[in-house]
Structure 1
Amino acid sequence: MKFLQLIFSCFVLFCFWGTSPARAAQPGATGTQKTIDFDFDWRFHLGEVPAAKEKTFDDRQWRKVDVPHDFSIEQDFDLNHPSGWSGAYLPGGIGWYRKTFDWKPAKDQKVFVQFDGVYMNSDVWVNGHHLGKRPYGYISFQYDLSPYLINGQNVIAVRADNSKLPSSRWYTGSGIYRHVRLAVTQNVFIPTWGTFISTPQVTKDQALVQLQIDLENASGQPTKLTLLTDILEPSGKKVTQVSQQLTLNPGQRTVTQKATISKPKFWSPEKPQRYKAVHRLQNGKQTLQEYTTYFGVRTVEVNAKDGFVLNGQKMKLNGVCNHHDGGPVGSAVPEDVLYRRLKLLKEMGCNAIRTSHNPAAPEFYTMADTMGFLVLDEAFDGWDKPKAKYDYGHYFKDWWQKDLADFIKRDRNHPSVVMWSIGNEVPEFEPERQRELVEALKKLDTTRPVTQARGSSSPYIDIPGFNGEGEMPETLEKFHQKHPDKPLLGTEITHSLQTRGVYASKTSYRTRDFPAPWEDGVKWENFKSKVFMIPDLTQEEVFQNNSKFYQSSYDNAIVRIGVRDQHKRTESLDYLIGTFRWTGFDYLGEATIQPARTANFGILDLAGFPKDHYYLYQSLWSKKPMVHLLPHWTHPGKEGVAIPVVAYTNAETVELFLNGKSLGEQKMPEDLQIVWQVPYQAGTLKAIARKGGKVVAETSVSTAGAASNIRVTPDKKQARANKRDVIHMEVDITDTQGNLAPEADNLVKFTLTGPGKIIGVENGDIIDFASMKIPQRKAFKGKCLVMVQTTDKPGEIVLKANADGLKSGEVKVQVK
């Protein structure tokens, strides 16, 4: 049998967008090229002000803001707002931004303003000159300011229009919600996204590096150049240099250089090692530009026989889908917030992320490269036909080619990006449109396969992607029988729901028990054959009085298939290269039960607190020894009632103790969870996990007494005075012994002093519509979170947390 085999090699680019691997949003100056942070000291007005595009407009009464800035998340929830349940009931609007800056134009200088993302329908002016419009709110773009800059004071004005709602099927945010910078070069230069590095031939002994470099001459006359490229290995040692002499005529030209790396160090999720290419454009002794490209060396093979093969090693994509919001900060997500989220996923054992359903912020890819994630990079949700009343579908026909090209050029050199997706659940799409998209993409990058979520009905994609339909029994198997040479991918598998701290011992199914709007009228008797049924943990429900908005944290609240069943299925099907769970984190919007801020699909909640499924995935995906027990052990009034106690572990056996007495040691069964029926009595449950008879992990959970204390735990003790660093302060309601009170819902009020500001509060409760921007929050299941961002002043941040009847908590963080 001849198998489809797609072989792909690696690369990665960071030029103006993402120069620094540690802080993608803060590129530094290099040689005669420099990037200038343009995030701070903007003026903002919510509402239409047409005259604000003019340089002479008086904006002194406008509010001062820094970007990234999301003006939707600042507004109050409104259950009657047109954004509706898909947009988390948060308003949009028209927002105007203006920034005044001094400039001294220089001879032979080019100046560009670069936006990582503005949602949506952005228009940009400089000194009253209209630079352009971009409808797509997720695309990065730039404009040339050079012809319009004057000596002295200049003004950039930006209008973002998200007034027609819903503009998406999920919460989008509004405004300049990603970073902005100025890029300054000579008029002979390598343009933005102007390098493309690939490794077409790779062995363990050597890698052939091909460097495709765009050059632009805006000087108006031929220029003699030397193009020097130094390649540095991950340690910083130079391994080779390439030199090329050329005469560059006015206009653009692409040149190709080749180099060889001996004994290459491969990039992988376990060892995300990167090389660096430093390109220097020289005119005689003058260096016109120094331009840095980070890249990695890796190989990818994808076929139906072996699945996904990275650097010669078979592996599964153990992935999650993530939307772009950061919970209480909305779409304006600071790097520290994004890093915390990715770190939690990494520690869970996740090795892949799908950017659902749009390009992510540039810093995400830098972190994916350096932390070691495989990325399924998705361009669009829908195409020509709008999926929400006012979404990008209205602009797709006129803009998709430009937006797709910018997207590919921006991201095509990241070693983390292993696959492109051109769409998600595109309704009634024409096969010809799929062909056009794939062909346009492959003109820019032939080194990666292309997929489309729920796009298997048309033949032009390399890897058919399956969403919910792929969870149904025999769907993947039957498709494979018809297309045995096609590798398959679970682009959105599986869907299950959990609420942190909530438990039910009997299985629930969304279609039967809490149907989504599109499932109204579906008869369970007709649908249940499409579901992998999960046995109840008990004959009678143990836990009562759960809200319809909350789902069980056992693996027993599902749409079509549970986590454990899907894991067994994924491991058993060689042609299924992996799956992307819906979702990694709870996200704002798309609430399937209303009114609510979201649905409970995430493995972690809106505050970034892990649910029990986090540890289930950790037991399946990670190698570090672990064991986890659920549920909590505070159940007053249930004395003597048998409660299902479940252990997740990647060890061989677990022994359970209650108040020091062994309840038996069990081997991990094929069911991938160990269950004891334990008559409840207050005290301590302890689990000891063993492998080969040796203890490798243990954990315990104790009955909590009455709530009495507030404990505040920061994720860092020291921060920088840079207006960017964020401290996540985890707030726990505990008893006198420090045990979490799992049902505590006290209103906690916060007082902050020192060089910081509260940028978000959250508790993970999807039906709590309180503002996420005020200094108080009710605890949900004993916990809430405060996000504090530093100012530009050094000093000591002190956060005090108070609640009626509880001993207050306090934490201090030094800012330098």
Structure 2
Amino acid sequence: TAHHPFSPEFLDLCDRLGIVVMNEAFDMWTVAKSPNDYHLFFTDWSSLDARDFVKRDRNHPSVVIWSIGNEIHDTPYPVVAKSIVARLKTIFNTEDPSRPVTMALFRPNTTGDYKNGLADMLDVVGQNYRENELTQAHKDKPTRKIIGTENGKNRSNWLPVRDYAPYAGMFLWTGADYLGEADRAGWPFISNPSGLVDRTDVVKPIGWERASWWSETPVVKIGRRVTEVIDTSELPTMVGVAMPQPKGPGVLNDWTPSDLKPHSEKVEIVTNAAEVELFLNGRSLGKKPRNADDSAIKYDVPFAPGTIRVVAYDGGGKKVAEDELKTAGAPVAVRLVAEQNTLAPTFDDVGYIRAEVVDAKGVRVPDASQKLTVKVDGAGTLAAFDNGDPTDSTVFQSPTRKAWNGRALVMVRATDTAGKIKVTVSGEGLKPATVTLETSAAN
């Protein structure tokens, strides 16, 4: 949990879904990160708060490890920091002797945490980013247990964990785009776009890349490389923040470039299968093996409108997965897909209807940005309307917003236990679409 106690409801959900939680108590100790943060209360309240925190959450099976701090700025003062570690760790170990205690160390080689004994006070040594440093810390002292407490999503972050067995695992920053820290990108951003999925739970290309690294089921996805990305995870913090990234989206999961005339496209395949074969309009462009370093399999493809398809094979040559993209035409209609058929009028029950702008053949138009309007009739009401665009400041309760990447997400609630909810989405120059949900009493 980043980087403070989360609600019991969140942990209840993790219990039900089998999500592993590192439960973190503090984002600062006695040294401030902002003028009015918890450092003002830490000395007087941290022992009481820590004890209450453990007692509240220790019966949640999803919690597998405690963290007593994230990127704590007291560590340059080891006498102070070590006394706090000793105090907090005693509380956590006393109230819950069944789980280990860690801490998200920040630049430990700079503050000397691996040499002055602070790191070795922890049951499990945790470090944010710089995975090779943590690997070396274990090699220097193999009795250490190590875990990545906050990590990037790039391949350079992944390979040290994949290739070094003592590295227990990693927690990614972040799984989903979130409403917060938008200032890191600057206006007009309203949310942080660092997730593997966007705000509407659409999986991004980097999310499919991650899935190809650790999924237990076959994964294969086609992407079109538009701009390169500079990996800044190993650079000093201020250098990484200041490093300008190329403008553009990186990789797109579509076969509709802005230029439809003949040209070369850089196609990237992410997969966990042994081999892939790429086809363009039914013609094979050849087979290629999975790369040992988990990098994307690359093809230079002469663009032609139509269908690009990839087939993934296991080591025995059996097809295990496939993916295809089609060139979109002009937008002509809205398509709706409801994720639920029935809703109850309870606080927790929300219906999700995905809207896509499609062409005459039903292909999503990836650059469609028409204004869409949602109308809810019957035994329901509009809860929110979103599109995942981190720069769209339209209020979520507005019935009108633009499509983004040809998509939007309608969220509705039921207002009665018997009846129908009729949801219609229309758009500029588009044929509207309607879906109907049933309402029922709560289970």
TM-score by shorter chain over 0.5:
yes
Distance 1:693 1:391 in 2: 58
Match for residue 743 of structure 1 among 358, 361, 367: 367
Distance 2:194 2:369 in 1: 22
401-410 vs 699-708, which deviates more? 401-410
**1:386/1:794 CA distance change after superposition, 3 Å:** farther
RMSD: 1.7
TM-fit CA distance, 1:389 = 2.9
TM-fit CA distance, 1:640 = 2.4
Show the counterpart of 1:730: 354
Show the counterpart of 2:55: 409
Distance 2:33 2:379 in 1: 44
SS of the counterpart of 2:15?
Answer: helix
Q: Provide Cα deviations, 1:178-211, integer angstroms capped at 9, x if missing partner.
A: xxxxxxxxxxxxxxxxxxxxxxxxxxxxxxxxxx
Show the counterpart of 1:281: none
Match for residue 658 of structure 1 among 280, 288, 292: 280
Show the counterpart of 1:63: none
TM-fit CA distance, 1:438 = 0.8
Note if contact 1:721-1:794 (Cα within 8 Å) is conserved in structure 2: no
Distance 2:18 2:365 in 1: 36
Question: Which has more radius of gyration?
Answer: 1
Show the counterpart of 1:369: 15
SS of the counterpart of 1:800?
Answer: strand
Does residue 766 of structure 1 match 2:427? no
User: Which amino acid is 1:490 matched to?
Assistant: G
Distance 2:348 2:139 in 1: 53
Mapping 1:184-583, distance limit 5 Å = 355-429=1-75, 430-454=81-105, 457=113, 458=118, 459-468=120-129, 470-471=130-131, 474-495=132-153, 562=154, 564-583=155-174
Q: Provide Cα deviations, 1:462-497, integer angstroms capped at 9, x if missing partner.
A: 1121113x24xx4224322433211211111115xx
User: Which amino acid is 1:676 matched to?
Assistant: Y
Q: Provide Cα deviations, 1:696-747, integer angstroms capped at 9, x if missing partner.
A: 1111110000011111111101112324310111111111111110001111
Distance 2:24 2:164 in 1: 25
Does residue 688 of structure 1 match 2:311? yes
Distance 2:221 2:406 in 1: 19
Distance 2:29 2:360 in 1: 57
Q: Provide Cα deviations, 1:550-609, integer angstroms capped at 9, x if missing partner.
A: xxxxxxxxxxxx2x2332221211221111111000111212121122332100111211
SS of the counterpart of 1:377?
Answer: strand
SS of the counterpart of 2:340?
Answer: coil
SS of the counterpart of 2:177?
Answer: coil
Show the counterpart of 2:345: 721
User: Which amino acid is 2:422 matched to?
Assistant: V
Q: Identify unmatched segments of 5+ residues in structure 2.
A: 76-80, 225-253
Does residue 797 of structure 1 match 2:443? no
Note if contact 2:15-2:62 (Cα within 8 Å) is conserved in structure 1: yes
SS of the counterpart of 1:443?
Answer: helix
SS of the counterpart of 1:492?
Answer: strand
Distance 1:791 1:479 in 2: 57
Distance 2:190 2:25 in 1: 25
Distance 1:808 1:800 in 2: 7
TM-fit CA distance, 1:638 = 4.6
Distance 1:737 1:486 in 2: 58
Note if contact 1:724-1:790 (Cα within 8 Å) is conserved in structure 2: no
Distance 1:651 1:644 in 2: 20
Show the counterpart of 1:540: none
User: Which amino acid is 1:660 matched to?
Assistant: G
TM-fit CA distance, 1:659 = 0.4
Q: Which has the higher strand share?
A: 1
Note if contact 1:723-1:792 (Cα within 8 Å) is conserved in structure 2: no
Distance 1:386 1:589 in 2: 19
User: Which amino acid is 2:307 matched to?
Assistant: T
**1:627/1:481 CA distance change after superposition, 3 Å:** closer
Q: Provide Cα deviations, 1:133-182, integer angstroms capped at 9, x if missing partner.
A: xxxxxxxxxxxxxxxxxxxxxxxxxxxxxxxxxxxxxxxxxxxxxxxxxx
Match for residue 176 of structure 2 among 585, 610, 630: 585
Distance 2:435 2:4 in 1: 38
Note if contact 1:745-1:780 (Cα within 8 Å) is conserved in structure 2: yes
Relative to the length of structure 1, the TM-score reads: 0.47
Distance 2:425 2:134 in 1: 52
Relative to the length of structure 2, the TM-score reads: 0.84
Show the counterpart of 2:376: 752
Does residue 599 of structure 1 match 2:192? yes
Highest RCO, 1 vs 2 (Cα 8 Å, sep ≥ 6): 1
User: Which amino acid is 1:599 matched to?
Assistant: N
SS of the counterpart of 1:594?
Answer: coil
Distance 2:142 2:219 in 1: 38
Note if contact 1:727-1:788 (Cα within 8 Å) is conserved in structure 2: yes
Q: Provide Cα deviations, 1:252-281, integer angstroms capped at 9, x if missing partner.
A: xxxxxxxxxxxxxxxxxxxxxxxxxxxxxx
Q: Provide Cα deviations, 1:267-297, integer angstroms capped at 9, x if missing partner.
A: xxxxxxxxxxxxxxxxxxxxxxxxxxxxxxx
Distance 2:32 2:199 in 1: 28
Match for residue 614 of structure 1 among 207, 210, 213: 207
Distance 1:371 1:628 in 2: 26
Q: Provide Cα deviations, 1:522-561, integer angstroms capped at 9, x if missing partner.
A: xxxxxxxxxxxxxxxxxxxxxxxxxxxxxxxxxxxxxxxx
Deviating 4+ runs (over 3 angstroms):
none
Distance 2:380 2:339 in 1: 15
TM-fit CA distance, 1:661 = 0.4
Distance 1:773 1:743 in 2: 24
Show the counterpart of 1:808: 432
Q: Provide Cα deviations, 1:737-788, integer angstroms capped at 9, x if missing partner.
A: 1111000111111111122222222212111111112112211111111211
TM-fit CA distance, 1:615 = 1.3
Q: Identify unmatched segments of 5+ residues in structure 1.
A: 1-354, 496-561
Distance 2:47 2:321 in 1: 53
Show the counterpart of 2:335: 711
Distance 2:167 2:46 in 1: 30
Distance 2:379 2:46 in 1: 44
Q: Which has the higher helix share?
A: 2
Q: Provide Cα deviations, 1:448-467, integer angstroms capped at 9, x if missing partner.
A: 11111116522422112111
User: Which amino acid is 1:762 matched to?
Assistant: D
Distance 2:432 2:388 in 1: 22
TM-fit CA distance, 1:422 = 1.0
User: Which amino acid is 1:697 matched to?
Assistant: A
Note if contact 1:762-1:784 (Cα within 8 Å) is conserved in structure 2: yes
Show the counterpart of 2:240: none
TM-fit CA distance, 1:373 = 2.2
Distance 2:335 2:260 in 1: 28
Note if contact 2:343-2:414 (Cα within 8 Å) is conserved in structure 1: yes
Q: Provide Cα deviations, 1:283-338, integer angstroms capped at 9, x if missing partner.
A: xxxxxxxxxxxxxxxxxxxxxxxxxxxxxxxxxxxxxxxxxxxxxxxxxxxxxxxx
User: Which amino acid is 2:122 matched to?
Assistant: I
